[in-house]
Structure 1
């Protein structure tokens, strides 16, 4: 297959004409496919419907300790749910606070608390002249929205194949006291699917921050979201590594069941040192008398234990895997060897990251939309929505059916080819 960059102008024009005919045929089908957000599909949601039958009017509503989940109490979550989340996040139960349905809300609260009341007694960030966060890119747009909302300056940190550029992370964290945090998705990273290496995790734990209130925001959203049973990524536990390195309070870990049960009715948790837990609870006692304990009880009775949770996730993987492979197969068959894009085959998580030729991402996304395929906006995977190369596109295969993903992938590769041809013709 001849590379586009090696083609003459006439060859490119001839190819473009043929591809445009295909593109117009796809447009004429009037498709309406959405790959913009990582929403579980209908079949995935159906897996958890039995959970709604775990509690009814005749159910015993008490926890294992005898507390009535219908009433006040258990500020940090019922014991059995704290244990389930601790097992999922591979930490001790005493390191866990269980919240409501959204880990994003917990992350927002954590930044907000730091802004107004500081970190464990340090100066509130709102009283400082400058506050900075490091942002591995491409990354999760909602992380960036939180820090942007609070007026925190964001600094791009390139992602390598094994995680963030740690030389750059160490340079900023260890020498600049205005750097107060870093966003991380360590396993099956959003959107690249990259898994942090053991060395990267341990270098994080061994940081020597110039700021005493520096924190690692470790969003372990996909900690058990494997796609392949025989290729499950494992990484060192950041809380354990921080404790070994003499930095026991440096990390906050976040997770939820949003993509395990029901996104609107899951449970979330923060895992951190007991010192951090006690400081957080001081604010939590003012904010709430407790989160939805009936939902926590429902989750624990449905899964029973971590083995039940893992078995449930294998069912998710069976549904998701063909959708991911539909996209990746289209890339392999249609784009390999053309040198007009690159991608990584993720082994878990919810996204596929595609890097087009520089300056082509916005055009590809717009062309896809005109053909009935909605993608995450180009630039969304960078702070302030500004991809300096206009190259990265995040693909979310979870919500459409396999057949829809095949149709959407066909349109996507057509748009990649056409946008790439135009780039070479304009050169």
Structure 2
């Protein structure tokens, strides 16, 4: 299916019907929200047992009292579990508080103020800092680099990962200091980087010695099927290629257990972790080890993580399938959009007729359906083709999701008709 094949004649034949569908939609006075990839209440209930943990069993196996200060790198139990889930050594992992975004913000902040362990000077003293942004991508990533005034450069995504021909050219510029990535079940495309792309990112030469790739594996185990993806050990790939400090590797339990009360993980080389500790030891006196121990007890081991994710898949897959069915039923006959069909993650990326995405969002808003803003998956919210819209099926029940998606399809068709 291709947007270029938009069947305008067929669309015109149905013009009156589409306009009436939209008027009927507005008359329903809906209040539906597809804006963010939040877990539903049913998904959060999968982790209710956490609320009674660790109970009186608040000491680690080595006798650490998790109620007290200290333990910058986190407790051994949860780090060991996550090391097995990610396929990297526990010694390269720091377990922190709930949000990996906080750690990412810290890493960029500290590089900006002081420079990182490979910097010649603080990034704030550079004439300009440039950052590579595979698109469509994660809006909260882009907000961080926008906040620091970095120049963000769009990099096209293929079904294997970022276009490496483009990346290799851009990193010849010493002002290019880093790159955002979501390598498994990407936000919003759902694509997973191939091993070949991972190795190229690890081995490519960069003009900036302090170039960093933020490897945000937020969806490393978030399958919608019975199988789990391979999590490539890019830390070893980088070390083998002579670039041991290239990757800042992130993960968390945010969409595994309780979204606002989980554990975040930062994995990297020893040099990077030592640099991180220099600043983190000043910033705080250690993470929430009680929550970490509760999670370790809740999971029991890596298989407990996979078992939890199978529950999520059983809940999410019918929602994703229903969204895809409605898109295919309502939009495919007109060639009015194209969309991803993810096997994991939390989003579906839709490209509507070029130039109409902002109008689709406006029409949906007028009809009581909240969508993520047009362009949100691009730096500065500027989609050069004004065509991309991110759908988040996770939060509403299927009954509401069906109403919202039929409404969305009507808005897509009406915007294409207007254009």
- Could you state the TM-score of these two structures normalised by the residue count of structure 1? 0.95
- The correspondence for 2:294, drawn from 298, 318, 323, is 298
Could you list the structure 1 runs, at least 4 aligned residues long, displaced by more than 3 angstroms after superposition: 3-8, 11-14
Against the structure 1 CA distance between its residues 47 and 235, is the aligned structure 2 distance closer, same or farther, given a 3 Å change threshold? closer
CA contact (8 A) 1:36 1:375 kept: yes
User: Matched residue of 1:264: which SS?
Assistant: coil
Residue 291 of structure 2 corresponds to residue 263 of structure 1:
no
**In structure 1, what is the equivalent of residue 48 of structure 2?**
49
- The correspondence for 2:356, drawn from 360, 375, 378, is 360
**In structure 1, what is the equivalent of residue 236 of structure 2?**
240
**In structure 2, what is the equivalent of residue 220 of structure 1?**
217
**1:168-187 equivalences in 2 (<5 Å):** 168-173=166-171, 175-187=172-184
**1:272-311 equivalences in 2 (<5 Å):** 272-311=268-307
CA contact (8 A) 2:50 2:294 kept: yes
**In structure 1, what is the equivalent of residue 347 of structure 2?**
351
Structure 1 residue 301: deviation in Å?
0.7
Query: How far apart, CA to CA, are the structure 2 residues paired with 1:325 and 1:35?
Result: 16
Query: How far apart, CA to CA, are the structure 2 residues paired with 1:245 and 1:163?
Result: 19
Query: How far apart, CA to CA, are the structure 1 residues paired with 2:22 and 2:353?
Result: 20
Query: How far apart, CA to CA, are the structure 2 residues paired with 1:283 and 1:258?
Result: 24
**1:127-138 equivalences in 2 (<5 Å):** 127-138=125-136
Structure 1 residue 30: deviation in Å?
1.8
Structure 1 window deviating more from structure 2 (243-252 vs 13-22): it is 13-22
Mark the runs of 5 or more structure 1 residues left unpaired by the alignment.
none
Structure 1 residue 12: deviation in Å?
4.6
- The correspondence for 1:317, drawn from 313, 325, 341, is 313
CA contact (8 A) 1:356 1:391 kept: yes
Structure 1 residue 241: deviation in Å?
1.2
User: Matched residue of 2:244: which SS?
Assistant: coil
**In structure 1, what is the equivalent of residue 202 of structure 2?**
205
Structure 1 residue 14: deviation in Å?
4.6
Structure 1 residue 391: deviation in Å?
0.4
CA contact (8 A) 1:198 1:235 kept: no
Mark the runs of 5 or more structure 2 residues left unpaired by the alignment.
none
Structure 1 residue 233: deviation in Å?
2.7
Query: How far apart, CA to CA, are the structure 2 residues paired with 1:113 and 1:132?
Result: 16
- The correspondence for 1:148, drawn from 146, 149, 155, is 146
